[in-house]
Amino acid sequence: MDLSRFPRRRYTEGATPIEPLPRFSAALAASCPGGRGPEVWVKRDDLLGLAPGGNKTRKLEFLVADALAQGADTLVTCGAPQSNHCRITLAAAAKEGLKCRFVIEERVPGSFSEAASGNHFLFRLLGVEDLTVVPAGTDMGAAMQGVADELARQGRKAYIIPGGGSNALGGLGYVACAQELQQQLFEQGLAFDRVVVGSGSSGTHGGLVAGFLGNRIAVSLLGIGVSRDPDTQAPLVRKEAQAVCDLLGLGLTVPPEAVQCVGGYWQPKYSVPTPAMVEAVQMLARTEALLLDPVYTGKVMAGLIDLARRGVIGAGERVLFLHTGGMTALFAYQDVLLG
Q: Does position 24 have pLDDT exceeding 80, yes or no?
A: yes
In the DSSP assignment, the letter for residue 236 is H
260 HSE (CA, 13 A, CB side)? 10
- Measured CA to CA, the distance from residue 133 to residue 106 in angstroms comes to 7
**pLDDT computed for residue 234 by the predictor:** 98
- Cα–Cα distances (Å) from 62 to 18, 77, 110, 115, 142, in that order, read 23, 15, 34, 33, 23
Question: What element of type H or E holds 86?
Answer: helix 84-96
- Mean of per-residue pLDDT scores for the chain: 97
Decide: helix, strand or coil at residue 254.
coil
Res. 250 pLDDT band, cuts 50 70 90: very high
Say which CATH architecture domain 18-54+167-338 belongs to. Answer: 3-Layer(aba) Sandwich (3.40)
- Cα–Cα distances (Å) from 289 to 23, 111, 255, 281, 282, in that order, read 10, 29, 38, 10, 9
Hey, what CATH class is 56-164 in?
alpha beta
Report whether 131 contacts 47 (CB < 8 A): no
Establish whether domains 18-54+167-338 and 56-164 are of one fold: yes
Give 287-299 pLDDT, tens digit per residue. 999 999 999 999 9
Which one of 83, 201, 227, 271 is the catalytic residue?
83
Alpha helix stretches (DSSP H) within 189-229: 203-214
Domain residue limits, the chain: 18-54+167-338, 56-164
Q: Does position 266 have pLDDT exceeding 90, yes or no?
A: yes
Q: Does position 325 have pLDDT exceeding 90, yes or no?
A: yes
Give 175-210 pLDDT, tens digit per residue. 999 999 999 999 999 999 999 999 999 999 999 999
In the chain, helix, strand, coil percent, each to 5? 45, 15, 35
**pLDDT computed for residue 196 by the predictor:** 98
- Cα–Cα distances (Å) from 47 to 14, 43, 73, 293, in that order, read 11, 9, 27, 14
- What is the mean predicted confidence (pLDDT) over 94-119? 94
Annotated catalytic, 83? yes
**pLDDT computed for residue 108 by the predictor:** 87
Q: Does position 339 have pLDDT exceeding 80, yes or no?
A: no
- Measured CA to CA, the distance from residue 320 to residue 18 in angstroms comes to 8
Q: Does position 1 have pLDDT exceeding 90, yes or no?
A: no
Of the candidates 94, 55, 77, the one whose C-alpha atom is nearest the C-alpha of residue 203 is 55
- Measured CA to CA, the distance from residue 105 to residue 86 in angstroms comes to 11
